[in-house]
Chains A and B, each alone.
Chain A
């Protein structure tokens, strides 16, 4: 498809504000009479609150104090269900559970006051591991500690064990990971019975916050307003927790009658807000002597923390991605999300898939070794093709060329030459080198019938000057929503990119286009933007005020005349689920996603065997994401995701002590710096077959899935270490190597 604006790297819509420091983030806003707010959390992982005492030399009368009894409506942060309280009332279930809120205009005094609140808790036994939760050592949630359990069945796994030439088993683990957006979370609220509740803040999903506040205050929907301020990164971390902070700021504002700002400092943000779910995956694989996968039996468990939050949905994506881009006749995947007394784990770019893909791609390297094949050859013999069925019995109706992606990735990285060269040179070398890869897919949009349920909406409106404004709840958090929406609308309308405006996400002014998550913004919401723009054009054509072949001036003239004659020129488009996509949630099978992105990533590492220090020296990422709307933004998404994947693989180690993150500082929780990220080479193989505008698919989460296993496989190649767990810290690598030699 010929395009004019799509496919061009136009300047980021809000780029000028960002490079001049004029972009306004939540902490940059100040309201007259504004108070600061802070959260006091319980000191115990699980227990019964016996008393709350306000001690010390603090002028308590000057301080606004909010506890659970001050909540006007339901004491819960409504998301999927109502299990998570806004403020603990009676019981606490993790150490970061909010119990008391305080507000005052003097931030220093407030800090002193926070330390002077004593919460007395009678401890109850707590559990902190997946094993203890599964063993029901204590029942801490529901009847059996299980948030959700799913089962995928394809063929008959049991029939394969007896005919297999080889059976390979293995267990794999991934740790929690902090999103570490550089802008900490924060909210400002105004609230009163007369005016309702308005919050401004750093967030991904304004309508999630809206839904939670409606329930918390028991107010009609139109009395709650949520406005997104410029957002300094999200990566999933600002999908659900902003509802909690918004609720807290609003309760303090409601009680004090003053605007209240809550900004988390880095330590509080890291410790209290959600992180990537830790996981454990067991694989049992039957394979023939010629390397054909006969059966895959997978058990995938994630630690959801103390409340359900989004765990069922994370589990769903992780489970569906667990069998990868392979054709295997018999697959069984059992997925479970279980409770522990850690702060709830939540959305983080990839959403369960990086965990299960790590397990699979490490495992397949081991399967290849067991049958005496090169790791790439084993994959080649099993890659899924158009017309074949994925584990969830979804027939792939798009062109899939995994072999071609692998060829490109191997050529660009010189894989075969290096693999051989390093194998020859490594013995005896103090610094060993390795090269490894991972093959994977990532579904775009909500899983299964999720998009049908969301029923997203997008609006467009034209002005008398011939500008077109897109109104959607989809948020810009750095990934480029404003820019690509403008490109899509400009392309559709035949206008210049500069003629398009994007409305600030504000629930009082934009329809609910669904959450900005799940690699859905380009493909799903982008398509709605296209339709909304198209309808503006159609209205002008049908009114006879505009004809094909118009220019910007005649478009503006027609808009002016239309508005003068008929009033507002606007459109509202609702998502229509493609009739050919069917999902059966009971049987957990069918069209899990409308389209997939496909990829092969190659990592090169060096390992200093004296210190076990590992470095990623080179990285090659080849992917097929359909039509690329903006090459620079798209490459930026991939590169940034790979950097986060390097952190997940090697550096980002959360140290837990009884359910609390104890290294909640940038000093000792290490994310990659400019010295740690190698040259990343990004290639897009455009086949333009997605369901989005001009054939776009999803892109945002993809790079998190394959980076860590590619690196782990490279370290395994360099050292021979049987890597089963990430983050692979030097300590863990050393331990693994010593065990192998023992």
Chain B
């Protein structure tokens, strides 16, 4: 990391747990999650905010964690894929991805599931256009998206109890 400015201490909540980590102010949230907190479920696909593999929620909004500097994370609430299930009980979206073939190689899946969870919180009964728009920041090279749409639709009815 660039020298010059020293590391800062960042306090935030990750998956409902208070955490503190040290990072250079311009270090990427993605690296802090993966390297400092060892939460490797968040993936790097492009490093330029195009593919959405590193999607996490920050204070309820979807962000590309490769574009978020550590300094901006102070006092926020972060949700990563590791925090989506309740213990061993999968979130309805996760279960629907398994049942409906929404995950193939799995590398876009963590980001895609966070985008889907976020979408269903905003639109519990989304239209096809809303699903397409809601997931358009997350690229998938395996599925052609059809099975992902089907997974989201299947999760609709189920997700209220998980919300």
- What per-residue 1/0 map shows which CB atoms of A470-488 lie under 8 Å from chain B? 0000000111100000000
In the complex, A641 has a CB within 8 A of chain B: yes
Q: Which of A227-235, A414-422, A552-560 contacts B (4 or more CB under 8 A)?
A: A227-235
User: How far apart sit A183 and B104, CA to CA, in the bound complex (Å)?
Assistant: 12
In the complex, B94 has a CB within 8 A of chain A: yes
Max chain A C-beta neighbours (<10 A), residue from B80, B81, B101, B133:
B101
Residue in chain A with minimal CB distance to B138: A674
User: Are B98 and A19 closer than 8 Å at their CB atoms?
Assistant: yes
User: How far apart sit A680 and B42, CA to CA, in the bound complex (Å)?
Assistant: 29
In the complex, A404 has a CB within 8 A of chain B: no
Chain A residues with CB under 8 A of B39? 21
In the complex, A194 has a CB within 8 A of chain B: no
Q: Which of A93-101, A123-131, A330-338, A629-637 contacts B (4 or more CB under 8 A)?
A: A629-637
User: Are B108 and A636 closer than 8 Å at their CB atoms?
Assistant: no
Which of A633, A644, A675 is in CB contact (< 8 Å) with B101? A633
Chain A residues with CB under 8 A of B133? 675
Interface residues in chain A, defined as those with a beta carbon under 8 Å from any beta carbon in chain B: 9, 11-12, 14-25, 27-28, 108, 179-184, 230-235, 265-266, 477-480, 632-633, 635-636, 639-644, 665-667, 671-675, 677, 679-680
- A19-B90, A24-B40, A183-B43 as given contacts; A641 in contact with B144, CB under 8 Å: yes
User: Are B139 and A181 closer than 8 Å at their CB atoms?
Assistant: no
Which of B1, B42, B99, B104 is in CB contact (< 8 Å) with A21? B42
User: How far apart sit A310 and B73, CA to CA, in the bound complex (Å)?
Assistant: 47
Max chain B C-beta neighbours (<10 A), residue from A9, A180, A182, A671:
A182
B67 to chain A, nearest CB (A): 12
Cβ contacts A to B, 5 pairs, < 8 Å: A184-B44, A232-B107, A477-B105, A633-B101, A639-B146
Chain A residues with CB under 8 A of B46? 266, 665-666
- What per-residue 1/0 map shows which CB atoms of B1-43 lie under 8 Å from chain A? 1100000000000000000000000000000001000011111
- What per-residue 1/0 map shows which CB atoms of B128-163 lie under 8 Å from chain A? 000111011011111111111100000000000000
User: How far apart sit A479 and B108, CA to CA, in the bound complex (Å)?
Assistant: 14
In the complex, B82 has a CB within 8 A of chain A: yes
Chain A residues with CB under 8 A of B147? 632, 635-636, 639
Chain B residues with CB under 8 A of A478? 104-106, 142
User: How far apart sit A635 and B141, CA to CA, in the bound complex (Å)?
Assistant: 15
Max chain A C-beta neighbours (<10 A), residue from B85, B107, B132, B147:
B107
Chain A residues with CB under 8 A of B144? 636, 639-644, 672, 677, 680
User: Are A20 and B85 closer than 8 Å at their CB atoms?
Assistant: yes
User: Are B104 and A479 closer than 8 Å at their CB atoms?
Assistant: yes
Q: 7 smallest A-B Cβ distances: which pairs? A: A21-B41, A478-B105, A232-B107, A18-B106, A643-B144, A21-B81, A639-B144
User: Are B81 and A639 closer than 8 Å at their CB atoms?
Assistant: no
Residue in chain B with minimal CB distance to A29: B40
Max chain A C-beta neighbours (<10 A), residue from B82, B95, B113, B141:
B141
A637 to chain B, nearest CB (A): 9
Max chain A C-beta neighbours (<10 A), residue from B47, B97, B104, B110:
B104
- A108-B2, A265-B47, A639-B147 as given contacts; A232 in contact with B97, CB under 8 Å: no
A258 to chain B, nearest CB (A): 18
Interface residues in chain B, defined as those with a beta carbon under 8 Å from any beta carbon in chain A: 1-2, 34, 39-48, 50-51, 53, 80-82, 84-85, 90, 94-95, 97-101, 103-110, 113, 131-133, 135-136, 138-149
User: Are B139 and A673 closer than 8 Å at their CB atoms?
Assistant: yes
Chain A residues with CB under 8 A of B51? 182, 666
- A28-B40, A639-B147 as given contacts; A232 in contact with B106, CB under 8 Å: yes
User: Are B41 and A20 closer than 8 Å at their CB atoms?
Assistant: yes
Chain A residues with CB under 8 A of B148? 674
A19-B109, A180-B141, A182-B108 provided; 14 other pairs, C-beta below 8 A? A14-B106, A19-B106, A20-B81, A20-B85, A21-B82, A25-B43, A231-B105, A233-B107, A477-B105, A478-B142, A632-B100, A643-B145, A666-B48, A673-B139
User: Are A11 and B41 closer than 8 Å at their CB atoms?
Assistant: no
- A21-B80, A232-B43 as given contacts; A182 in contact with B53, CB under 8 Å: yes
Chain B residues with CB under 8 A of A12? 98, 101, 103
User: Are B107 and A15 closer than 8 Å at their CB atoms?
Assistant: no
Residue in chain B with minimal CB distance to A681: B146
User: Are B103 and A19 closer than 8 Å at their CB atoms?
Assistant: yes
- A632-B147, A635-B147, A642-B144 as given contacts; A20 in contact with B82, CB under 8 Å: yes
User: How far apart sit A215 and B103, CA to CA, in the bound complex (Å)?
Assistant: 37
User: How far apart sit A300 and B144, CA to CA, in the bound complex (Å)?
Assistant: 30
Chain A residues with CB under 8 A of B48? 266, 665-667
User: Are B44 and A640 closer than 8 Å at their CB atoms?
Assistant: no
User: Are A15 and B44 closer than 8 Å at their CB atoms?
Assistant: no
Which of B45, B90, B132 is in CB contact (< 8 Å) with A182? B45
User: Are B103 and A15 closer than 8 Å at their CB atoms?
Assistant: yes
- A20-B94, A265-B47, A642-B144 as given contacts; A673 in contact with B104, CB under 8 Å: no
User: How far apart sit A122 and B32, CA to CA, in the bound complex (Å)?
Assistant: 44
Residue in chain A with minimal CB distance to B3: A108
User: Are B135 and A674 closer than 8 Å at their CB atoms?
Assistant: yes
- A16-B98, A671-B141 as given contacts; A181 in contact with B105, CB under 8 Å: yes
User: How far apart sit A619 and B84, CA to CA, in the bound complex (Å)?
Assistant: 34
Residue in chain A with minimal CB distance to B93: A19
User: How far apart sit A20 and B142, CA to CA, in the bound complex (Å)?
Assistant: 18
Chain B residues with CB under 8 A of A24? 40
B139 to chain A, nearest CB (A): 6
Chain B residues with CB under 8 A of A667? 48, 50
User: Are B97 and A15 closer than 8 Å at their CB atoms?
Assistant: yes
A331 to chain B, nearest CB (A): 34
Chain A residues with CB under 8 A of B99? 11
Residue in chain A with minimal CB distance to B133: A675
User: How far apart sit A618 and B143, CA to CA, in the bound complex (Å)?
Assistant: 16
A354 to chain B, nearest CB (A): 16
User: Are B45 and A266 closer than 8 Å at their CB atoms?
Assistant: yes
Residue in chain B with minimal CB distance to A234: B105
User: Are B43 and A233 closer than 8 Å at their CB atoms?
Assistant: no
Chain A residues with CB under 8 A of B145? 639, 643, 674, 677
Chain A residues with CB under 8 A of B113? 19
A663 to chain B, nearest CB (A): 12
Which of A11, A21, A25, A680 is in CB contact (< 8 Å) with B146? A680
Chain A residues with CB under 8 A of B136? 673-675
User: Are B142 and A636 closer than 8 Å at their CB atoms?
Assistant: yes
Residue in chain A with minimal CB distance to B53: A182
Chain B residues with CB under 8 A of A9? 101
User: Are A183 and B107 closer than 8 Å at their CB atoms?
Assistant: yes
Chain A residues with CB under 8 A of B47? 265-266
Which of B80, B107, B135 is in CB contact (< 8 Å) with A25? B107
Chain B residues with CB under 8 A of A22? 41
Chain A residues with CB under 8 A of B149? 674
Residue in chain A with minimal CB distance to B104: A478
User: Are B139 and A666 closer than 8 Å at their CB atoms?
Assistant: yes
User: How far apart sit A230 and B45, CA to CA, in the bound complex (Å)?
Assistant: 15
Max chain A C-beta neighbours (<10 A), residue from B1, B44, B140:
B140
Residue in chain A with minimal CB distance to B129: A675
User: Are B141 and A233 closer than 8 Å at their CB atoms?
Assistant: yes
